[in-house]
Amino acid sequence: MSARRAIGPLSLWLMCSAAAVPATAPAAGQDPAAPSAETLYRLGEADGTQLAQARYCDLPPAEMSRLADALQQAARERALAANVAFDAAAHDAAMRAGFDDFRKLMAAVEAQGSAQNLAQRQAHYREQCAEVRAGIETLIGPLTKQDTKG
């Protein structure tokens, strides 16, 4: 096993999710609890990553729509808490960036994993998707039984 393969797909996925929201120091005169514009953008990227993870885990279109609405509402609330106007276009752009970054990451992981054991890849997929579904249910409520395949 090479050093490059020491990090499995699950670890890469988690690193991508964690890297989407870096810690930033508040600007001079800003409430330390209020997120900066950069942090709000990074949180929007994280929203896009979460949406991409849901799509990767085959969340049905109706649930994807509920999730997207909940993510946008959460972004509105973050902007309100930061005393800034919510910019839907900027949030959509940040979400698209996070979505695209995750898609590229998964394409790279899948390309590397072609030699990996199929059963091991399926186990990683089930583990990742169980975590994604749990996060989604925390945000939008329980998924219907037919929506929890995998």
Q: Are 90 and 43 in contact (CB under 8 A)?
A: no
User: Cα(148)–Cα(58) distance, rounded to whole angstroms?
Assistant: 9
| SS3 of residue 89 by DSSP | helix
11 Cβ contact partners less than 8 Å away, ≥ 6 residues apart = none
Question: For 71-94, what is each residue's pLDDT tens digit?
Answer: 999 999 999 988 889 999 999 999
| Locus of tokens 């330390």 | 32
Span 30-39, mean pLDDT? 70
The pTM score is 0.72
What mean pLDDT value characterizes the chain?
Answer: 78
| SS3 of residue 6 by DSSP | helix
Lowest-pLDDT choice from 14-28, 55-69, 85-99? 14-28
User: Cα(71)–Cα(91) distance, rounded to whole angstroms?
Assistant: 10
- Total H helices, total E strands in the chain: 5, 0
